[in-house]
Amino acid sequence: MRTKQSAPALSLAEHKAAIQKENRRVTSYDVALVAGVSQSAVSRCFKPGASVSKATYARVMKAAAALDYIPNAAARSLITRRTNMVAVIISNLANLAYPEALSELSQHIGRRGKRVLLFTLQRETDIGAVLNDVWQYQVDGVIAAATLTDEQVAEFERRRMPLVVFNRGLRGQAVNTVACDHYEAGHMLVAKLATAGHRIIAIIDGPEDNIVGSERRRGAADKLAELGLPPPVIVRGHFDYASGARGLRDIISRLGHVPDAVICGSDVMAIGCLDYARHELGLSVPAQLSVAGFDAVEPSNWLSYNLTTLRQPIQKMASAAAELLHNLIELGEGEVEKRMFASQFIEGATARLTTLPSVSLAA
Amino acid sequence: MRTKQSAPALSLAEHKAAIQKENRRVTSYDVALVAGVSQSAVSRCFKPGASVSKATYARVMKAAAALDYIPNAAARSLITRRTNMVAVIISNLANLAYPEALSELSQHIGRRGKRVLLFTLQRETDIGAVLNDVWQYQVDGVIAAATLTDEQVAEFERRRMPLVVFNRGLRGQAVNTVACDHYEAGHMLVAKLATAGHRIIAIIDGPEDNIVGSERRRGAADKLAELGLPPPVIVRGHFDYASGARGLRDIISRLGHVPDAVICGSDVMAIGCLDYARHELGLSVPAQLSVAGFDAVEPSNWLSYNLTTLRQPIQKMASAAAELLHNLIELGEGEVEKRMFASQFIEGATARLTTLPSVSLAA
DNA sequence: TTGTATGCGTTATCAT
DNA sequence: ATGATAACGCATACAA
C-alpha cells in the first residue's frame, strides 16, 4: 500500500465538487492529487519528449481526462516566453485577395503549432493604434500586411519582435519581406499592351497611401516612358468595383475620348471598368478598349469576364511568410531576407494582345 | 529628500543595460525602481480608474515610456481570469460571405477591448481537432461559424465557456445563436418564383454536411410541396463557381430538358450556373431560365449579373453576435438566446418575377 | 524517473 | 494614496 495516508486521496467526485464549489479552474495540482503524483510529473506528461514512465503517464492522463484538465497556455507562456500566437495585421479583408492570404497564413501557422491573433485595420494608417495591443499580447511574431513607418520598424527591432512584412516590400527598409514584384508586374503589362500597338494607356490607381497600387503604377508609367509613349492619364480609386466604373468615366472626360487601354490597380476595379464600358458605354472589349487588372482573384476567371490580369502567387507567398517568420522565431534574427515573387501573366480576353490586322494591312 | 538611500536608484541607462544583459523582459518592477515607487503603484497606473495621485502617475508613465514598458497580458490574465481574446472558428474563408463576417466581427470585438484568435477549418467536421487548442488558450468566449455536435456543445457548458453559434442555428440545440432564417429564405424564394408561374424548379444544394444549404433546400422543397408543384430535382455542389455550372448540366441531364428555374445554395454557384447557361448553353436568362442565389455577395450586384438573390444582413448579424457574446462574458449565462434575422429579397434581373403575358393571353 | 522548490509578471487584498 | 504580500498555473533546475 503506497497510498499516501497523510493526505488521503480524495475521491474523484469529491474533488470535482470541491473545485466547482471554490469556483476555481482545474490545475495541474488537482490532477496530481487525483493521480497520486507530484505536480511536476503532471507537467512533464504534457510536454512532448519529457521523461515519464509509462505507468505514471497513464495514471496522469486518466486523471486529467476525468477532471477535464487542459494546461493553461497563459501560465505556460509566462515561463517559456512563448505564447504560440502570431499577430496578423491586415488592412482590409474586403479586398478579395486578402481572405485567401489570411486563410493560407492561418493554415500554415497552425501547422507549426501556433495560432493567428487577428488585427484588422479600417485604414492602413491605423496601424499605430494596434501596435500597442500587439506588444501586450506578447505574440511570438508578427506578419503585417500593411505599410510600416521607419519608426515602427525600429520599435519592432528594439523589442526584438520577429516581423515579416507581407506584400509591402518597401525597398529601403531593412525588414524581412515577402512580396510580389508589383513594379515589375506593371512594367510587364505595359510591355504586352504596347507590343500589341496600344498607345493611349490610362491607369486607375489605388488610394494614395497604398504602396501596392503605387508600385504597379510606377512600373507601368516607367515602361511607357521608356518606350516613348505618351504619359498615362492617372485617376485614383479605392480598389473597389465602383471605382473602376468611375475611373473609366473620369479618364474619358479627362482625355476627351476612349483610351486604347486601361490598366486597373486591382481586378475588382478592372471588372467595374469592364462592366461600365460594356453595359453603360456599349463599348466592345477588347475590340474598342482593352482592360487589364492585377491579382487574378477568383471572379476574374469567370466566363463573363475572363480578365487579362497578373496572378500573384498568394499561396506561395503565404507559405513563404509563415516559414520565414517561423525561422525568425526559432533561429533568432539573421540577415534581413526579402523574398520577391513574380506575377504570372494571365492572357484572358479583355485586352487585345496582337496588333490589329487591319492596321498592318492598311500600312 | 525622500529618495530611498538603501536601494540607490540606478540611472536609466544602467538599468536598461542591466535588463538587456540579463536578457529578461522589462517588468513593472523595473519601472517601479526607475520611478522610485512600489511595483503595486505601477500596476495601478495601468489600470483605468485606479486611485493614483497625479504626481505618481506622471513619474510612472515617464519611466515606463523610457523603458518601453508594456504590461504583460499573459501574466495579467493569470490573475484576472480574462485573456481579452475571443476565438472565432470559421470553416472556409473562401466562401466570399465569410470574410466580411470575420472583418465585422473583428471590428466589433475590437471595440470591446478584445481581439480575435482565429481558428480556420479546412472542413467543417475538423472542429473537434481545434477545440482542444481553444481550451488551452483560455479565450474569454467563442464564436463558431461551424456546426457543433451535441457533445461539443455540452463541453462548452461543462467548461462554462461562453459560446455563440454563428449562422448555424440548429433548432434543437440549447445554444446561443445568431443566424439567418435560411429555411424561411428558401420558402420565400419559391413563393416568388411560383407566383411568376415557374413550375419545374431545380435546386443546386451545398455539401451534405452543411446546414445552411440544407435549410435553404428544405424551405424551398417544403414550399413546393405546399403549392402542389412537382418535387425539385436536387444536385449537390460545394458552393463554388464550378459547382454551379456542373449543377446546371446535371440538372438538365437528369430532367431531359431545361427547368423553369434553378435555385442555387449560394450566389457564387448561381453565378456559375448563370454563366454556364448564357455562355455555354446560349440560354437567355431570365427569358428561358430563371436563376436565383443566396447571400447577396458583392459580385451578385455587378452589372454583368444583377442576380436575383436574398441578402443576409451579415453586418447586423456580426454586430449581434459580438454583442451577445459580450453579454455572456460580462453578465454570465442567462437564458439561451437565439437571434434570428430575416433575409431580404433582392429582385435583380436573373429571375422572371411576373407571369408571362403570352401565357395569360393564351389561357 | 520522480519530487521539491522556485520564479515567470501581474493583480488584488490588506494594512498603513 | 501607497506599499508589502499573497495568489494565479505552470515549467524547470536540482536533488534524490
Per-residue model confidence (pLDDT) at position B23: 86
Tell me: do B265 and B330 sit in the same domain: no
Q: Which of B158, B271, B305 sits opposite A68 (nearest CB)?
A: B158
Residue A134 lies in a domain: yes
Pair (B56, B106) in one structural domain: no
Using the Cβ of B140 and the Cβ atoms of chain A, whether some distance falls under 8 Å is answered with no
Q: Are B308 and B318 within one domain? A: no
Identify each DSSP E strand in B167-318 by its residue range: 177-180, 201-205, 233-236, 261-264, 290-292, 309-311
Identify whether the C-beta of residue B122 lies closer than 8 Å to the C-beta of residue B93.
no
Assess if residue A216 is contained within a domain: yes
Flag if A70 and B115 touch (Cβ within 8 Å).
Answer: no
Cell numbers found for residue B284: 437567355
Cα–Cα distance for residue pair A135/B69, rounded to 1 Å: 9
- pLDDT of chain B, 363 residues: tens digit per residue: 333 333 445 678 888 888 888 889 999 999 999 999 999 999 999 998 888 899 999 999 999 999 999 999 999 999 999 999 999 999 876 677 888 999 999 999 999 999 999 999 988 888 998 999 999 999 999 999 998 999 999 999 999 999 999 998 667 788 999 999 999 999 999 999 999 999 999 999 999 988 999 999 999 999 999 999 999 999 999 999 999 999 999 999 999 999 999 999 999 999 999 999 999 999 999 999 999 999 999 999 999 999 999 999 999 999 999 999 999 999 887 889 999 999 999 999 999 998 866 544 443
Distances (CA, A) of A272 to A123, A245, A269, B239, B310: 22, 5, 5, 24, 22
Beta carbons of B257 and B289 less than 8 angstroms apart: no
Confirm whether A353 is domain-assigned: no
Query: How far apart, in whole angstroms, are the C-alpha atoms of residue A297 and residue A307?
Result: 10
The pLDDT value given to residue A28? 96
State whether A302 and A233 are in the same domain.
Answer: yes
pLDDT at A1 over 50: no
Q: Is B242 on the interface with A (CB under 8 A)?
A: no
Which range is least confidently modeled, A7-11, A38-42, A137-141? A7-11
Check A93 against B103: CB less than 8 A apart: yes
Smallest CA–CA separation between B208 and chain A, in Å? Answer: 23
CB neighbours (10 Å) of residue A75? Answer: 17
Nucleotide nearest to B39 (CA to C1'): D3
Predicted pLDDT of residue A8: 43
pLDDT of residue A10: 61
Facing residue for A241 by CB, picked from B99, B271, B298:
B298
Task: Give me the residue from B81, B118, B303 closest to A116, CB to CB.
Answer: B118
Smallest CA–C1' separation from A76, nucleotide: D10
User: Residue A101 and residue A106: Cα distance in Å, rounded?
Assistant: 8
Backbone conformation region of residue B315, classed left if phi is above 0, alpha if psi is from -120 to 50, else beta: alpha
| Distance of A50 CA from D14 C1′ (whole Å) | 16
In a shared domain, residues B222 and B121: no
Give the phi and the psi of residue B339 in degrees, each rounded to 5. -100, 115
A168 with A100, same domain: the answer is yes
Note the pLDDT of residue B97: 83
Q: Quick one: angle between helices A73-80 and B73-80, nearest 10?
A: 140
Query: Does B301 fall in a domain?
Result: yes
Contacts of A20 (CB under 8 A, 6+ apart): none
- A172 vs A51, which has greater pLDDT? A51
Q: Output B334 or A345, whichever has higher pLDDT.
A: A345
Closest CA to A87 of A14, A32, A145, A47: A145
Q: How many secondary structure helices (H) and strands (E) does chain A include?
A: 14, 12
Residue closest to A279 by CA, chosen among B211, B117, B349:
B349
Residues B110 and B39 grouped into a single domain:
no
Looking at B50, B71, B92, the residue that finishes a domain is: B71
Using alpha carbons, list the distances in angstroms from residue A359 to A197, A275, B180. Answer: 10, 27, 57
Of the candidates A189, A148, A209, the residue with the CA atom closest to the CA atom of residue A348: A189
B214 and B296 in a single domain? The answer is yes
CATH of the domain at A61: 1.10.260.40
Whether A187 and A290 share a structural domain: yes
Task: Transcribe A216-267 into DSSP letters.
Answer: HHHHHHHHHHHTTPPPPEEEE--SSHHHHHHHHHHHHHHHSS--SEEEESSH
Q: Which residues of A touch B304 (CB under 8 A)?
A: 275, 278-279, 304-305
Q: Is the pLDDT of residue A5 over 60?
A: no
Question: Do A43 and A76 form a contact (C-beta atoms < 8 A)?
Answer: no
Rounded to 5 degrees, what are φ and ψ at B264? -110, 140
Chain A contact set for B83 (CB, 8 A):
74
Protein-covered nucleotides on strand D (Cβ within 7 A): 1-5, 7-13
Instruction: Quickly tell me which residue has 453595359 as its cell.
Output: A279
Same domain, A156 and A229: no
Which range marks the domain in which residue B166 is found?
81-180+314-342
Strand B344-346 to B309-311 pairing: antiparallel
C-alpha cell at A207: 488610394
Task: Specify if B1 maps to a domain.
Answer: no
- Note the pLDDT of residue B289: 97
Element (H, E) at A4: none
Instruction: Tally DSSP H helices, then E strands, for chain B.
Output: 14, 12
At residue A6, the pLDDT reads: 33
Residue B306 CA and nucleotide C12 C1' are separated, in Å, by 60
How would residue A18 be classed by pLDDT, with cut points 50, 70 and 90? confident
Cα distances (Å, whole numbers) of residue B150 to A116, A301, B122, B157: 27, 41, 21, 11
Q: Looking at residue B361, what is its pLDDT?
A: 44
Residue A108 belongs to domain with CATH number: 3.40.50.2300
Is residue B350 a part of any domain in this protein? no
What does the pLDDT look like over A187-216, one tens digit per residue? 999 999 999 999 999 999 999 988 999 999
**Residue B57 domain flag:** yes
Give percent above pLDDT 90 in chain A. 80
Interface test with A, best of B46, B111, B302 (most A CBs within 10 A): B302
What's the pLDDT tens digit per position in A165-182? 999 866 778 899 999 999
pLDDT of residue B170: 67
| H or E element that contains A181 | none
Predicted confidence (pLDDT) at residue A115 exceeds the cutoff of 90? yes
Instruction: Supply the pLDDT for residue A21.
Output: 86
A75 Cβ nearer than 7 Å to chain D strand: yes
In whole angstroms, give the CA distance from residue A43 to residue A199.
71
**Does the CB of B43 have a partner CB in chain A at under 8 Å?**
no
pLDDT (0 to 100) of residue A256: 96
Amino acid B318 CA to nucleotide C10 C1' distance, rounded Å: 33
Please indicate, yes or no, whether residues A258 and A167 belong to a single structural domain of this protein: no
> Å from B21 (CA) to D1 (C1')?
35
Please check whether residue A276 touches B, CB under 8 A. yes
| Number of separate domains in chain A | 3
User: Same domain, yes or no, for B305 and B192?
Assistant: yes
Q: Does some domain include residue A349?
A: no
Q: Report pLDDT for A170.
A: 67
Q: How far is CA B90 from CA A113, A134, B84, B100, B216, in A?
A: 18, 22, 19, 12, 20
